[in-house]
Amino acid sequence: MALVPSMLPSLTKVGAEVLIERSAGERAGFADKAYADKGATIVASRAELFAQAEVIVQVRGLGANQDAGHLDIPLLRAGQAVVGFLDPLGSPEFARDLAQKGVTAFAIELMPRVARAQSMDALSSQATISGYKAVLLAAHHLPRVFPLMMTAAGTLSAARVFVLGAGVAGLQAIASARRLGAVVEAYDVRPAVKEQVESVGARFVELPLETAASEDKSGYAVGQDESFYRRQRDVLTRVVTSSDVVITTAAIPGKKSPVLVTREMVEGMQRGSVVVDLAAERGGNCEATRPDEVVEINGVIILGPTNLPATVPNHASQMYAKNVTAFLLHLMKDGRLQLDSDDEITRETMVTRDGHVVHERVK
């Protein structure tokens, strides 16, 4: 749910009127009444809502919601603004649809990563939830317990968790797995992340680079040649196959995710091991991943959840609503949208305007 009741006052204070589709908040645990109490008008149907509203706020809009997103297109009106995850880089065709409709569309995933936009950064907030939930999912499927337990009925060894990609979701996954008592290792291409990984208590898996080579060029440059990739795979294979849980988070927004865990590696894993691939939406970091399906290979379970935040709807909505509200407040003056395309945040997130696709990276 893109707005939660507690956010409404900040919007109404600046003069905005808030319309809520009936029962929209139900799944996340927010009753219509809660919205109404905070001054929202409950609108019976989606069509009616689209007819009345000037700004439409969604979680997953066109593009990002391949199933139902296109159903909204006929409802849109010229001059209307749309805010939400729109996946303009992955599905630029929908951006063009929106432009044709004359809609001003803001893709929240394009939010620039500048300090003052941190409170609007929905990718980060949703990745936080994903990282946490990925660990729960893995723990739920693993036929073993996470923590070390020395009991009268023998010693249960701790689960070994390997996190690939230590961005927002990855770090959160590391921290959550550590909390549950797992032994955690992590890997990321950006070596700067090592310190961050260690700061949440995991071991960083380092690739043994050839010293001679790395003295001439930068470490990254050396990383390009074929022998590097081979050695990288070797190291990763070793770590992956000795892990009980592998969580991959190396998503590159709008691009296909790099394959880090090959089918071969999966086959080398212990029966009962679990792979959670958070990059599933864009093909996955694991060769065997199929989005939103449970794949089993040799007793290894591969999960490719594409929308984990939706499984923690209450808190995910709360965070998203906070992001969107901050964004709307940034865009609005005196209760109306006032677009200033000199502003970095506005410029970077605006995909279409006045019938055109205006974003550099989408055009």
Does position 150 bind ligand NAP by CB under 6 A? no
Nearer to ligand NAD by Cβ, of 11 and 193: the residue is 193
Nearer to ligand NAD by Cβ, of 188 and 348: the residue is 188
Contacts of 191 (CB under 8 A, 6+ apart): 219
How far CA 330 is from CA of 14, 96, 284, 335, 345, in Å, comes to 11, 25, 34, 11, 9
Does position 318 bind its own copies by CB under 8 A? yes
Does position 124 bind other proteins by CB under 8 A? yes
Task: Using CB under 6 A, pick the residue from 67, 115, 212, 218 that binds ligand NAP.
Answer: 115
Does position 176 bind its own copies by CB under 8 A? yes
Q: What token pair was written down for 221?
A: 């440059």
Does position 352 bind other proteins by CB under 8 A? no
Q: What token pair was written down for 358?
A: 């205006």
Q: In the annotation, is 220 catalytic?
A: yes
Single out the catalytic residue among 23, 220, 230, 343.
Answer: 220
Task: Using CB under 6 A, pick the residue from 39, 254, 258, 291 that binds ligand NAD.
Answer: 258
Task: Using CB under 8 A, pick the residue from 29, 102, 291, 355 that binds its own copies.
Answer: 29
What is the distance, to the nearest Å, from the Cα of residue 69 to the centroid of all Cα atoms in its chain? 18
Is residue 337 helix, strand or coil? strand
State how far the Cα of 69 lies from the Cα of 122, in Å rounded to an integer.
19
Nearer to ligand NAD by Cβ, of 28 and 240: the residue is 240
Q: In the annotation, is 6 catalytic?
A: no
Contacts of 122 (CB under 8 A, 6+ apart): 85, 108, 109, 111, 319, 320, 323, 324
**Phi-psi domain of 80 (left: phi exceeds 0; alpha: psi -120 through 50; beta: other):** beta
Contacts of 19 (CB under 8 A, 6+ apart): 40, 41, 42, 43, 49, 52, 53
Single out the catalytic residue among 87, 97, 121, 244.
Answer: 121
Does position 329 bind ligand NAD by CB under 6 A? no
Tell me which amino acid residue 199 is: S
State how far the Cα of 270 lies from the Cα of 298, in Å rounded to an integer.
8
Q: In the annotation, is 113 catalytic?
A: yes
Does position 275 bind ligand NAD by CB under 6 A? no
Does position 192 bind ligand NAP by CB under 6 A? no
Task: Using CB under 6 A, pick the residue from 123, 197, 245, 319 that binds ligand NAD.
Answer: 123
Does position 152 bind other proteins by CB under 8 A? yes
Beta strand pairing call for 154-156 and 160-164: unpaired
Contacts of 101 (CB under 8 A, 6+ apart): 73, 76, 77, 78
Q: Binding string to ligand NAP for residues 57 to 96, with x set by CB under 6 A, is what?
A: ----------------------------------------
Q: In the annotation, is 72 catalytic?
A: no
Q: Which residues are catalytic?
A: 113, 118, 121, 124, 220
Binding site for ligand NAD (CB under 6 A): 113, 115, 118, 121, 123-124, 127, 164-170, 187-190, 193, 249-252, 258, 260
Binding site for ligand NAP (CB under 6 A): 115, 118
